[in-house]
Structure 1
Amino acid sequence: MKKIIAIIIGAVIIGSVIWAFARKGKDSPYLTEAVTRGALLQSVSASGKVEATSDIQLSFEQQGQIASLAVAEGDRIAKDAVLVTLNQRDADASVANAAAAVAAAQAEYDQLIVGASAGEKRVAEVARDNAQESLVQTVARAAADRAKAEQSLAEARVTWEAARTNLTQDIDAKLAAAVSAANTAEKKAQGVRNILDELYAENNNFELFFTITNVEAQARAENAYEAVAAAWQSFKTALAAFRAAPTEQQAASSFPLLEASLVPVRNAVHETSVALVDAQVSGSAPKTVATYRTDVAAAWTDINASIADLADARVSLANARANGTAAIEVKQAAMATAEQNMDTVQAVSAQSVAQADGARKQAQADYDKLTAPPTAEERALRRARVDEALAKLLTAETLRARTALTAPIDGVVTKVNVKAGETVTPGETIVRLFAANAFEISVQVPEADIPKVNEGDAVRITLDAYGDDQEFSGEVHFVNPAETLIDDVVYYDVTIFFSDTPPEVKPGMSADVTINTDRRNESLSIPLRAVKEKNGVQYVDVLNDKATAEKSITLGMRADGGWVEILEGLEEGEMVVVGMKKK
Structure 2
Amino acid sequence: MRNPFPIIWRYIRSLIARLPWPGVIRRHPVWSGLILGTSTLIALAAFALTRPKAPEYVTDTAKRGDVTRTVEAVGSVISERDFALQFPVSGIVADVRVKEGDTVKAGQSLAALRAGVLSADVASAGAAWQSAQADLNGLLEGARPEDIAIAEAELQSKRAALDVAKMSLLTAERTLELSKEKLKSLESEARISLAGTVSAAASTASAFLADARTGLKTINDVYDSIVVADVVQKHSPSEYADLKTRQNRAAAELDAALSVVASAAHYEEALADLTTARAAVATVADTLRQANDFLLSLPITSNFTVSVRDTNSDLLATERSSIQSALSGVDAALNNLRDASASYTTQISAEKSALASAQGEADRAKADIATYEASVNVSEAQLQLKRAGTRPQDIAAARARVAENAARLQRARAAFAETVLTAPVHGIITKVNVKKGEALPTGAAITMLGSSPYRIELYVAEVDIPLIVVSQSGSIELDAFPRVFDLLRVSEIDEAATDRDGVPKYRVKLDFALPREELRIGMTGDAEIVTGERKNVISVPRRAVIENTEGQTAVRVLESGEVLEKRVMMGMEGSEGEVEVEGISEGDVVVVLIKE
TM-score by length of 2: 0.32
TM-score by length of 1: 0.33
